[in-house]
Chains A and B, each alone.
Chain A
């Protein structure tokens, strides 16, 4: 341990080896799998909504990776079947997430298919769930004296709206809702689909 170059070269070699194992090998393995037939790319509006989702940092509280019934009751909670690598091929950047301060959202479009519900919930989550700790997003909406013909009016319970006039959704709120409604990975998965089976029970045979 008296020489600079060997120290640095071995240190570099170890990192290169780790990169091969953690990034390159699984990357090649996943790239060889077929894309599920039911998966479609995001539409233009859904992509804009996804940008809102990313930039507002939804990922810090919401995962997008339901777990298998062998590990956790995600299916029973209505969060969807266990997700597989192929479900994410159109996701750039990925939003798998590491927190469930809020529920998993990979199939929220199936679980909560109403645009009106999402607009109310985004404007003020506590208008729907009193216990919620999700931020409100009032800046995705605007208050108007009266709604125009093109406007989408947000339905609000007594006490949550402005004293007079109405709350209408800005395009950002409509885009974000379109993205949330597009979150649907309920189609059947290909046979060669990949996911972590580390919790699979022996008797279930997989």
Chain B
């Protein structure tokens, strides 16, 4: 048996490596024939039409945006609702770790439930929903055709949000499937699956009706994510077949792929669209984006078991995930070169465009989060950081500093182009940026340092376990400060978005006068 398993391990690695070599060969011999003309698909029919930094000068010139506007507006509003609620629960959970006797009178208020509420609301209510909003905004644009069946995503929106609300209500009352990232009872998960159908069908119809030969790189990420996430979600939630350690492997295969094959494609795809679009120049090396995409698919899909290093499961499968975690350097560097060089050559655009500040900050965080993740998966490092708050800091570097901050920028770019007027108070957007960036910096460094100290204390047999708890307390307090700043930023975000949706009085009055 060990030989067979060793062979399987080798096989998996060789298959991924061969696939990557084939890809490099195909690019080198121009099998794909990707060139700068393809990279310019991101612009309109006439090619690059200058920087897209002024909120309204390109307002719906094609008639595409006005079809997408209704579902996108609903999805953004729904996402922001869960963001504010979900991050409030996050702050409560964080405070409870250093004020353990606060809010303790009923089971729904306990740390275990608050933490699960936070995770599920921000993962499924906020991140997934804002990502889907970006899909509905960007895909019709890069396919140069209006969204097909635009009434379906509106129905999907209601089903999805009812599903998230009922799921959260269920486990705050103690009805849970009991695994991290999979707490929603499977009976309610069927609502999310159903909503998924209402989201995927119109996008696939739009893809098939596209009026452009080439699918732009953002489209690869989005179209693939639309296959990956439903498969992951369906298999992981199937009731009655998973148990014991096998269930744990399914759990972490799922949970890490939610990040790798769902949230990451949403964030990277969104950045790949908005960075060149805002700057008005195509990305640095279009062929390189192929390595970034297929490398992500090949390597990211197999990293999940690094959450169980040192655990009760076969050595080979742990090693497999460690190896693939390190291989993630390849696609991440490819994306980094593409996105960061494009921005670095056009630093002027950061002054002109507030959304670009969010998006390129998020893109840099993707590089850092992935590098950190690859290193954290090494057995020598993992033995210290595993089971500590360090991991929580890392998770927020990926899901928050990368995906969420890219999505803030995307929403700020989409809104003026959807309603045809600019934000009245750009100062509030700047304040939002600095609140979440500084808040996150405090959050991240507190948990990283606190987590390392905690891990070192736990490894030292001469120090009591109590010591590893006591020494984290000041760092947990700092985390609450950072988290509160981030949440205040989210409230500003909500104010900004609701503000631009409300018609200014002057315009409303002049419209009445004209009639």
Which residues of A are interface residues toward B (Cβ below 8 A)?
1-4, 7-8, 10-12, 14-15, 17-19, 21-23, 25-27, 29-31, 54-61, 63, 65, 67-68, 71-73, 76-77, 82-85, 87-96, 98-103, 125-126, 129, 131-139, 194-199
Contacts and interface: CB of A to CB of B under 8 A. Distances in A.
A143 to B, nearest CB: 13
Contacts of A102: 469
Given A11-B227, A139-B105, 10 more contacts: A4-B215, A15-B257, A18-B253, A23-B246, A30-B314, A56-B110, A194-B312, A198-B310, A198-B319, A198-B322
A60 B115 contact: yes
Interface residues of B, number: 99
Of the listed residues B105, B245, B468, the one surrounded by the most CB atoms of chain A closer than 10 A to its CB is: B245
B2 to A, nearest CB: 10
B313 A135 contact: no
B312 A196 contact: yes
B244 A89 contact: yes
Contact of B214 (A1, A65, A90): A1
A94 B314 contact: no
A96 to B, nearest CB: 5
B304 A94 contact: no
A4 B208 contact: yes
Interface of B: 1, 5, 8, 12, 15, 32, 34, 96-98, 100-101, 104-107, 110-113, 115-116, 171, 174-180, 204, 207-208, 213-215, 217, 220, 223-224, 227-228, 231-232, 235, 242-251, 253, 257, 261, 290, 297-298, 301-302, 304-305, 307-315, 317-322, 379, 383, 386-389, 391, 458-461, 465-466, 468-470, 472-473, 476
A21 B317 contact: yes
A93 B243 CA distance: 6
Given A93-B179, A131-B470, A196-B318, A26 B105 contact: no
B3 to A, nearest CB: 13
Contacts of A84: 312
Contacts of A58: 112
29 contacts: A7-B220, A12-B228, A17-B12, A18-B302, A25-B8, A26-B317, A54-B178, A56-B110, A57-B116, A59-B180, A60-B112, A60-B116, A63-B387, A72-B383, A72-B458, A73-B459, A77-B461, A87-B312, A88-B248, A93-B177, A98-B180, A98-B391, A126-B100, A131-B469, A132-B100, A194-B314, A195-B311, A196-B309, A196-B314
Given A96-B245, A100-B388, A135 B12 contact: no
Nearest to A16: B231
A171 B214 CA distance: 64
Given A12-B227, A15-B228, A31 B466 contact: no
A82 B310 CA distance: 9
B370 to A, nearest CB: 17
Contact of B5 (A2, A29, A87, A131): A29
State the 8 A-B residue pairs at the shortest beta-carbon distance, nearest first.
Answer: A57-B112, A18-B301, A73-B461, A11-B224, A100-B387, A93-B178, A88-B244, A55-B174
B100 A133 contact: yes
Contacts of A12: 227-228, 231
A103 to B, nearest CB: 5
A59 B177 CA distance: 13
A101 B96 CA distance: 13
B379 A198 contact: yes
A76 B251 CA distance: 29
Contacts of B12: 17, 21
A58 B180 CA distance: 11
A1 B100 contact: no
Contacts of B318: 196, 198
Contacts of A57: 110-113, 115-116
Contacts of B386: 98
A22 B214 contact: no
B96 A135 contact: yes
Contacts of B112: 56-61, 135
A133 B317 CA distance: 35
A58 B304 CA distance: 22
A137 B110 contact: yes
A98 B301 contact: no
A89 B246 CA distance: 9
B301 A27 contact: no
Contact of B100 (A56, A100, A134, A199): A134
Contacts of A19: 235, 253
Contacts of B248: 88, 94, 96
A30 B8 contact: no
Of the listed residues A26, A59, A95, the one surrounded by the most CB atoms of chain B closer than 10 A to its CB is: A26
Nearest to B473: A133
Nearest to A84: B312
A108 B406 CA distance: 44
Contacts of A90: 244
Nearest to A87: B312
B8 A21 contact: yes
B315 A196 contact: yes
B9 to A, nearest CB: 8
Contact of B15 (A11, A17, A199): A17
Contacts of A59: 112, 178, 180
A131 B56 CA distance: 57
A105 B302 CA distance: 29
Contacts of B249: 22-23, 26-27
A60 B215 contact: no
Nearest to A134: B100
A57 to B, nearest CB: 2
B305 A91 contact: no
Contact of B97 (A17, A96, A101): A101
Given A4-B207, A57-B110, A15 B231 contact: yes
Of the listed residues B304, B313, B383, the one surrounded by the most CB atoms of chain A closer than 10 A to its CB is: B313
B458 A100 contact: yes
Given A15-B227, A15-B228, A73-B461, A21 B302 contact: yes
A55 to B, nearest CB: 4
Contact of A93 (B100, B228, B247, B458): B247
A15 B106 CA distance: 42
Contacts of B176: 54-55
Contacts of A31: 246
Contacts of B302: 18, 21-22
Of the listed residues A11, A30, A76, the one surrounded by the most CB atoms of chain B closer than 10 A to its CB is: A11
Nearest to B228: A15
Contacts of A21: 8, 12, 302, 317, 320
